[in-house]
Structure 1
Amino acid sequence: MYRKILLPTDGSKNADKEIETALNIIDKENGELILLSVASNIITLQLSNEDDISNLNNLLSKNAEENVAKMKEKINANVKISTKVVTGSPAKSIIEVAKEENVDLIVIASSGKSGLDKLFLGSVAENVVKNAKNDVLLIHKL
């Protein structure tokens, strides 16, 4: 049984499978789930309006807050739950939070969002698996 599990979410439907798996392997009496969403920070371009960039970054942060809140609502179990939202590169941020929080396990879906996000960002799960010092449990997409 794992005592501290990190569940990163991007708001995709694969989060349900992550929750189910994590609840099956967590220490029910002493366990803690840390729900994490990463808000990507928009890079400022010289042609960009600073206010527009700031508004977009705020929108991304709000979306990340909503992701962890929705995930928390889906958990119907008597375990300690904490939420965390950070800004940065998704894979790098997941790895950093896992280290900072000293988690036993990262449970991550093999594929979250797709389309242009996936083309530009690469595979977050793949980067986490390759670079995390923590154990990683990869959940195949639905």
Structure 2
Amino acid sequence: MTIKIKKILIPYDATPSSEKAVKKIFPLIDKDCSKIIFLTCIHDKATFGFFKTKSDRKEMEQEKEKNKKYHERLKKEADKLGIQASSKIIKSDLESKSIIEFAKDQNVDLIVMSKSKIGTHAERLYYNSTVDAVFKKAPCPFLYIP
């Protein structure tokens, strides 16, 4: 019995850990039936007023443009390997919630993530990882890349 994984979601934030997740999953993909979706959540910073300032909007747009370049590179790498890929950049106030909602909305079959190393004991105790939060509430199977 084989499992058909049609849609694979890779939350991508251009960190070494998200790069590792991409590199490790590429060889495992069934090129004939699987599609990768790269998702970047741009943190929507809270403001003290009721509206965003011009500099807030400019910073958000710069972040979006930077991430578009990352996504284009990832899609080219996937294309070279014969893997169908798409990408989405969204604003988010809580990345884990946005990833989970996106996975539900898109009927994703697998979420693939890796997380950065946490240094001190105190960080391990109090660090609320996006990866951990997604793992706990994922609407589909979750693959953690150590």
TM-score between the two structures when normalised by the length of structure 1 = 0.80
Check 1:105–1:131 CA distance in 2 against 1; reply closer, same or farther (3 A cut): same
The aligned residue for residue 53 of structure 2 is 50
Matches within 5 A, 1:55-66: 55-66=58-69
Higher mean displacement: 83-92 or 53-62: 53-62
Query: Shift of residue 18 of structure 1?
Result: 1.4
Q: Which has the larger radius of gyration?
A: 2
CA distance in 2 between counterparts of 1:63 and 1:5 reads: 23
Q: Is the 8 A contact 1:10 1:112 kept in 2?
A: no
Cα distance 1:82–1:36, how it changes in 2: closer, same or farther (>3 A)? same
d(CA) in 2 for partners of 1:13, 1:71 = 14
CA contact (8 A) 1:111 1:123 kept: no
Q: Give the ranges of 4+ consecutive aligned residues of structure 1 lying more than 6 Å apart after TM superposition.
A: none
Matches of 1:97 and 1:62 in 2, distance apart?
21
What is the CA–CA distance in structure 2 between the aligned matches of 1:99 and 1:113, rounded to whole Å?
29
CA distance in structure 1 between the partners assigned to 2:59 and 2:65 by the alignment:
10
- Paired position in structure 1 for 2:70: 67
- Aligned counterpart, 2:110: 105
Matched, 1:27 2:30: yes
In 2, Cα distance between the equivalents of 1:13 and 1:84? Answer: 19
In the TM superposition, what is the alpha-carbon distance from 1:72 to its structure 2 partner?
A: 2.4
SS in 2 for 1:27: coil
Task: Indicate the residue corresponding to 2:85 in structure 1.
Answer: 81
Partners of 2:70 and 2:41 in 1: CA distance: 9
Corresponding residue for residue 21 of structure 2:
18
Equivalenced residue count is 136
Unaligned runs of 5+ in 2: none
Please state how far the C-alpha of 1:65 moved relative to its aligned partner: 2.2
